[in-house]
Amino acid sequence: MAELTPPVPIVALDVPTADAALALVDRLGESCTFYKVGLELFVAAGPPIVQSLRARGADVFLDLKLHDIPNTVAGAVRSAAALGARLLTVHASGGAAMLAAASEAAQGTGCGILGVTVLTSLEAPESEVLRLAALAADAGLHGVVCSGREAAAVRVRWPDDLATLVPGIRPGGAARHDQARVVTPGQAAEAGATYVVLGRAVTQAAEPREALRAIALELQSPATSGLAHLREGRKPA
């Protein structure tokens, strides 16, 4: 198994307008270069918000969770890639044909397709997450979205085939809000997450830039969280 590298932090622009999103981007400045645009912001602001972020030199994770017939999803993937999205989500539960169409449409575009397994707002057995991850791997997707609780198992099962994007990140002692399966930044790093999505822990902090820097330091030097077996390439007991 490849050596673990720190996850890439992605700040969630979960705000209702383009002005609010770009104000947050300006406030974070050079401390962040990767942003998530989800359904709320994309429905409100449309493709121009992605173009505005790209014009500022930022990478964009377009979190649209596509789930439709294969031809429709393939067309949406091509459109997202043309906008310059670096990452795009589809629901892994959409099935093998839909995932294969998404994967094929993304080939050569520079846009990585991530299969959403089970939303982190829900409780779920690890076996279901791994079942959906297997569909994503078979379709040749770039990776999957899963909680930090399952990221270690995904990494062990598909060490070179699937990136993992982990939402539901909460610093120690922080409120869970609407998330059920949460981990700390250090735990996500120890689990081998490729990307982590940071929301309210950064965006609602009194000093968002300082909050992001503190989390980035924890991602670089995670505390031992019971997942250190991954550094030795062993499966968890």
Known catalytic residues are 65
Report d(CA 121, CA 124) in Å as an integer.
Answer: 10
Tokens of 145: 């979205």
Report d(CA 188, CA 193) in Å as an integer.
Answer: 6
DSSP secondary structure code for residue 6 in this structure:
P
What's the distance, Cα to Cα, between the start and end of the chain in Å?
A: 17
Q: 198: helix, coil or strand?
A: strand
Q: 27: helix, coil or strand?
A: helix
81, burial (CB in 10 Å: exposed 0-12, middle 13-18, buried 19+): buried
